[in-house]
Every structure is written in structure tokens, then in C-alpha cells.
Amino acid sequence: MKELLMGNEAVALGALAAGVQVVCGYPGTPSTEALETVAKRNPGGVYVEWSVNEKAAAEVAAGASCSGARSMVTMKQMGLNVAADPVMCVNYLGVRGGMVIYVADDPGPISSQTEQDTRSFGRFAHIPVLDCNSPEQAFRLTQDAFVLSEEKGCPVILRSTTRVCHSCAVIDVPEIHAPGGASGFEKDPRWVIFPRLSYENKKKLIAREKLLEEEFSGYRENRISGSGPIGIACGGISCAYVRDAIAEIEGYEEKFTLLEIASPYPFPRKLAEKFLNATEQTIVFEELDPYIEDALTELCGSGQRTGKVLGKRTCSVPVAGELSALKIQQCLEKTFGIRGTLKPGEFPDAPEMPVRPPVLCAGCPHRGAFYAVKRATAGRKSVYCGDIGCYTLGNAAPLDMVDTCLCMGAGITMAQGIRHVDPDTLCFAFVGDSTFFASGITGVVNAVYNQADMILAVLDNSTTAMTGHQPHPGIGLTMMGTRSRPVDIEQVLRGVGVTSVRTVDPLDLKASEEAVRAASEEEGVRAIIFRSPCIAVTKPKGCMEVREKDCIGCRTCIDEIGCPAVLMKNGTAFIDGSLCTGCGLCAQLCPADCITMEVSKS
């Protein structure tokens, strides 16, 4: 049946069509919808879980594969760093059931810290990589990846990028059936990784790469088209950009020869040699690293062809960010003098777009937590270490409460490092409830063991808010629809040795400030759990309103907390009822006491 599918949905249905039996992952844009679609379209017999982090997910998938089941683990490119330990090792052990590692890269980056390229990781880990250029191809490549994994006895990385993940296409999806049962785990010395075994398997990995180079040169998704003297090599979504760009150029089939790479690692050398021999000069378009460019340059340098390969290394192509059909046409014009017809959109009568920086939502409980800490520590030398999540937005004015943000869980350990070097500084570490479970607990144990002096602020809003409100261990709801006992953050903290733990409602400003002041006077590792549900998972309490006759126009409600629901109108404060959730934080800090609850929203 034909269906309109997003790229991530195509990956999910490709996995189900391939008979996947176990799917694990950790939510991270732009990969999240893949696992959610598997759970939604589960035909029965497929185990699905949001794991506590990517490392755990990869290890669960590896265990399932060792037991003969087809498994898939999903993550974004930053999550691959977290999963690197098991991913590197499972390739040395090998697999029984096909194991696919679906990684979504984020050129731009749009929602990530870095522009990490998973193709380079695959080469580093000696794991075959398939690279999707469209939702249609993603559907095919997912199924191919399972077959390849079982044929070669190794995991396979399926790489996608944001534009493929979130674009849509009509795909003919076969009827999905429940997968058959796996054979089960069979004891074998191969499953225990020892140095000697790794040494022997390393030689097998290299031999397998040579074999795959040959096979990938004949792989149907790698193709050469056109007959022109100018070679264009591309991979992933850049293939779609290139096709759109050259389609606008008259006689493009006689001007260009196009090489499209769907299996960047191991690189299809023979096919690439054929391409190079058919062209006079070559330019490479790809996101993100100059991966294909380097492979072609190596071929030229090894004597397969004389000539220069142009791309990111030669600054002929933008070295960072996303490409587009227009950018590719501009590169072709600048390099070869070939002009296309694409032009930037022109809107001469359009008004200037307003600046819309990302901010915490109206009613977000994190705003109360940040503001309470800010007020309670005013005048003291303090550092506020942040983390990955909605609360990273606490760095924006007027809160200005995030001084560092490195990677998930790092705020806890960075605070320790800062305090060791700067002992007269009051160090806070903010972490969300989902991130606490994903990668924060280890940092807390490190702090307790090494007698650190810091205040941990757990922002518990009962969800994984930034990536779409996925459940986590603190909620107790699993992706299989079952209920488990929620893991209590306070009990975890006390269990690892944190003796000072306070739990407060961040929307109660007075109580929150008192908790922060009390913790600030203590020493050692102490924690404050700011617990209040995200506005997206709870009903609004009502709506606040301003008594205009009593408002003194001081702007305290605006300048102190920066809530997007509060603004000035005719010289007095005004609350936008379409945004307000009735959290009451503005009322608690109004010096004129002119903000009150209006009516309850139905």
C-alpha cells in the first residue's frame, strides 16, 4: 500500500518489513520518530524501548543480535559518542541476527552542538556505512542493511541527515507481519572479548573491507549517470540537491557525469575509478566532512588518475552547514563558469522578519528554578553549569543562568572541575530529570566519591521535553505500554551518598529561594530537586491578569523573568491569555501586587 512517509518513518517501516525483532534507542532530534513509529506500527512480536541512554540501547541491541534476533538501535550523531564503547567492541565480536545502527546527522547544525559526520565514525570503527539520500532510499537501505549485517556477520551503520529524516515521500509499503521467533542465545567463546580474539578479528575486519569495496562497486544504489567531461560526486541528501541543480542547466547530461555514493564505507573504489576515468575534472558535494572528496583524491594520488579533485579541501564548496541546489549552482558557476537558472527568493514588499530568539515557554517551571537560584545567590561569586535540554535556554537574558554547556551530563562534572580550581566559587549544576538518568548519575557518584563541593539542581518536569515528551525511568511508563515502578530521583541521590536533598516546587518562589539559600550555606555535595510538570504534559492552572489601575509600569514582571506571555501595553503590563498557563510566578514578584488569577481554562 502506498503511504506518505517521513524519512524516519520510512526507516522504521523498512526495519519492520525486514523482520526486526528488537528496537532500542534514546530520543534525539532528528532521529526520534524512527523508534516512535516502530512502537506505533508494531505488528506484535517486536520489543521496543526507550533506553536510559544510547550506550545502554546499543548493548541491548547487541545482546538481542547475539541471540539471533534482528535488532536496530536509533540515535542522533551526538548519541553515537555515548554509544561508542559498545559499538566499537561489537564489531570485533560480530553478530548473528542483523544489527543496524541508525544514526541521524544534523548538518547546520540545527539542534546539536556539533556537525559530526557519522561516515567518518564508520571508517574509524571499521563498520560498513549506508547513506540515505531520500525517504524512498532510506526504506530500501534499511532492509539492505539487515541483509548485509547478517551476510558479513557485522553491525551496519545506516546514516541519515535532518532533511532526509524530516522530508516526506510516497512509498509502497508491503503488508507488515509479526516477525518470527529468534533462535536464542547459544554459548560460544566468540562472545567474550579478549585481546587475542580482538587481534585475530581485526585481521578479519580488514579482509572484509577489501571484499566490501568490490561488492559495493556493483551495489545498485551506487550509480553513475550522464556523459559529460565535468564529474560531480555526491552522497546522501546532496545527491538530491545536485539533481535539482543540474536539471536547471541546459544540456546537463552532456556537461556532467554524476557519481552517487550510497555506501561511503568501505568506499566503492572500482566504481569511483570508472567515474574518474570518464571525466576531466571533478567536484564533490557532500555533507558534512570531505569524505568522498578525500577518497577520490586518494585514488588520484595512488596513480589511478592525474587531476585535481575539487571540494571542501580546496574551498570550492562550503566547508560547514547545509548545502542546497542554489548553493551547488553557485559553486558550479564560480568554478566552471556554468550558470544555472535558480535564483534566491525575492520578496521586495515583505516586511522585515521579527527577531525570535528561542526562549523558555510561558509557564515553564525551569524559569522559576533559575530565577530562585539567581535571587538567592545575588552578590555571591557563583558559576551555573548547564546541560542539554530545554533548560539550556536559561542562558538567555534576562535570566542569564547558564554559564557552560558541553554535552549531556557534563554540567555535573564540569561544576566539580571549576570548584577544584576556583575554591571560593559557589558552583551549581543544572540537569533535567531525563538527562539525570541518561548520564547524570555517574557524575554525582564521582562528586560524592571525590568529596566535591557543589549544588546539584535537578529540574524535574516529568518528561523528556525537548525531543517530544518521551517517557523516562522517573515516569515509569515504557514504550511497550507497560507500567513499571518509577525510579525516584531523591532515593537515587541518597543511595549514592548525597545526604542533603531538598525537593521544592519551582513555581513557589519563596520556598525555592529558601531551599537555595540553605543549600548555599552547606558544604559537600547537596541537591535541590525542583519538581513541577512541563506545561505540555499538564493542564493550565488558569490565566493571570493585570489590574491596570494598580500597575505602576515598573516592568519587573518582564525584565526579571522574561516570560513571553507578559508584555507592555499602553504603559502597563499585559498578559497574553493565549500563552499564559497561570503559573503565578509573575504575581509573586510584582511589587504592586496587581497580578491575580483570572479564570480557569477548560
Residue 601 has what pLDDT? 46
Q: What is the pTM of this model?
A: 0.88
Q: What nine digits make up the cell of 50?
A: 526507550
d(CA 72, CA 92): 18
Neighbouring-strand partners of residue 310: 283
DSSP H or E segment with residue 82: helix 77-82
Residue 408 has what pLDDT? 84
d(CA 178, CA 16): 8
d(CA 363, CA 386): 20
d(CA 394, CA 232): 45
What does the DSSP assignment read for 371-416? HHHHHHTTTS-EEEE--SSGGGGGGSTTT----B--STTHHHHHHH
Q: How many CA atoms lie within 13 A of 385 on its CB side?
A: 27
What does the DSSP assignment read for 487-522? PPHHHHHHHTT--EEEEE-TT-HHHHHHHHHHHHTS
Task: Determine phi and psi for 404, rounding to 5 degrees.
Answer: -140, 150
Closest by CA position to 261, among listed 219, 298, 299, 297: 219
Query: What percent of the chain is predicted at pLDDT more than 90?
Result: 70
Closest by CA position to 572, among listed 549, 538, 544, 601: 549
Preceding omega of 288 cis (within 30 degrees of 0): yes
Which ranges of the chain have pLDDT less than 50? 601-602
d(CA 237, CA 192): 39
Cα–Cα separations (whole angstroms), residue 94 to 20, 70, 155, 281: 18, 13, 7, 40
Closest by CA position to 123, among listed 212, 62, 23: 212
Preceding omega of 266 cis (within 30 degrees of 0): yes
Q: What nine digits make up the cell of 492?
A: 537515587
d(CA 204, CA 189): 17
Q: What nine digits make up the cell of 58?
A: 546499543
Residue 354 has what pLDDT? 77
Q: What nine digits make up the cell of 472?
A: 523516562
- Strand ranges for 138-221 from DSSP E: 156-161, 168-172
Please give the biggest Cα pair distance in the chain.
84
